[in-house]
């Protein structure tokens, strides 16, 4: 190889090595930015036994009183859950608290089943029960008078088990991975039963709730029951107005 070509090749190799080294240094100096936390994965149990999701230091606290036998509550779960989660909760802007207002034995049964697995499992159970509401509620509407009467008699856990079997709520929960023994424990959980009754009493006697769904934003009733109408007072609260 001629001398000049050998020198040129050597220079090119040296330049390439320097460039590669510079890129390595640049990469080391600028590590990948960590992903922002998904606040909807942060779940807490409140003093009254309700579940809340989101940043506990969020500027806005949204409370929903709901009933599983309420069709408007199912509409909110269908239309509002995803945008509320992605636009507000995940960004750390809003912490969302679910509170039960139990209207009847069927509602109590669904509420006890939704709490199976604790706070981490609650949101998924909640959505699944509401997503199937038309199916299991149709069975309730076809129940005989004698059948419905039996739902108000005897031990609460036994009644819930009977209702769950009649409506298919037990099958829905088994499809989510729960065993019959786990479901029995949830429906016979005296602490959960007391917490649900306590939340209902707070709704009626403390917060003067008269229907579901009812929303409170930073302690004040929102004045709307639907999504996306709820966005307006939520955005106003975030702006401080």
Using the predicted structure, report yes or no on whether residue 228 has a pLDDT greater than 90.
Answer: yes
What is the CATH T-level fold of the domain 39-239, as seen in this structure? Glutaredoxin (3.40.30)
Ordered by start, the domain boundaries in the chain are 1-34, 39-239
Q: Of 99, 20, 72, which Cα lies nearest the Cα of 230? A: 72
Using the predicted structure, report yes or no on whether residue 107 has a pLDDT greater than 70.
Answer: yes
- Across 8-22, 132-146, 199-213, 214-228, least confident range: 8-22
Instruction: Provide the token pair at 24.
Output: 């390595």
Confidence of residue 87 (pLDDT cuts 50, 70, 90): very high
pLDDT at res. 36: 63
pTM for the predicted model, two decimal places: 0.85
pLDDT at res. 233: 97
Instruction: Round to whole Å and give the CA distance between 43 and 56.
Output: 9
Report the 3 state secondary structure along the chain.
CCHHHHHHHHHHHHHHHHHHHHHHHHHHHCCCCCCCCCHHHCEEECCCCCEEECCCCCCEEEEEEECCCCHHHHHHHHHHHHHHHHHHHCCCCEEEEEEECCCCHHHHHHHHHHCCCCHHHHHHHHHHHHHCHHHHHHHHHCCCHHHHHHCCCCCHHHHHHHHHHHHCHHHHHHHCCCCHHHHHHHHCCHHHHHHHHHHHHHHHHHCCCCCCCEEEECCEECCCCCCCCCHHHHHHHHHCC
- Model pLDDT for residues 1-20, shown as the tens digit of each residue: 444 344 333 444 444 443 44
């Amino acid at each position: 190889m001629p001398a000049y070509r050998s020198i040129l090749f050597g220079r090119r190799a040296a330049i390439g090595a320097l460039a590669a080294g510079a890129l390595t240094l640049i990469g080391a100096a600028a590590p990948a930015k960590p992903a922002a936390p998904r606040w909807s994965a942060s779940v807490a149990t409140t003093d009254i036994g309700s579940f809340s999701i989101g940043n506990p230091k969020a500027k806005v606290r949204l409370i929903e009183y709901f009933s599983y036998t309420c069709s408007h509550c199912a509409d909110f779960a269908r239309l509002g859950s995803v945008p509320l989660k992605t636009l507000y909760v995940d960004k750390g802007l809003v912490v969302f608290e679910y509170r039960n207002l139990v209207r009847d034995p069927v509602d109590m049964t669904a509420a006890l089943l939704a709490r199976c697995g604790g706070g981490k499992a609650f949101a998924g159970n909640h959505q699944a029960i509401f997503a199937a509401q038309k199916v299991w509620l149709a069975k309730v509407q076809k129940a005989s008078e004698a059948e419905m009467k039996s739902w108000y008699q005897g031990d609460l856990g036994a009644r819930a088990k009977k209702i769950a079997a009649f409506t298919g709520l037990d099958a829905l929960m088994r499809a989510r991975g729960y065993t019959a023994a786990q479901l029995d424990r949830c429906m016979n959980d005296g602490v959960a039963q007391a917490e649900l009754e306590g939340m209902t009493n707070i709704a009626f006697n403390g917060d003067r709730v008269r229907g579901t769904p009812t929303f409170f934003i930073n302690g004040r009733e929102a004045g709307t029951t639907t999504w996306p109408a709820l966005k307006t007072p939520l955005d106003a609260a975030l702006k401080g107005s």
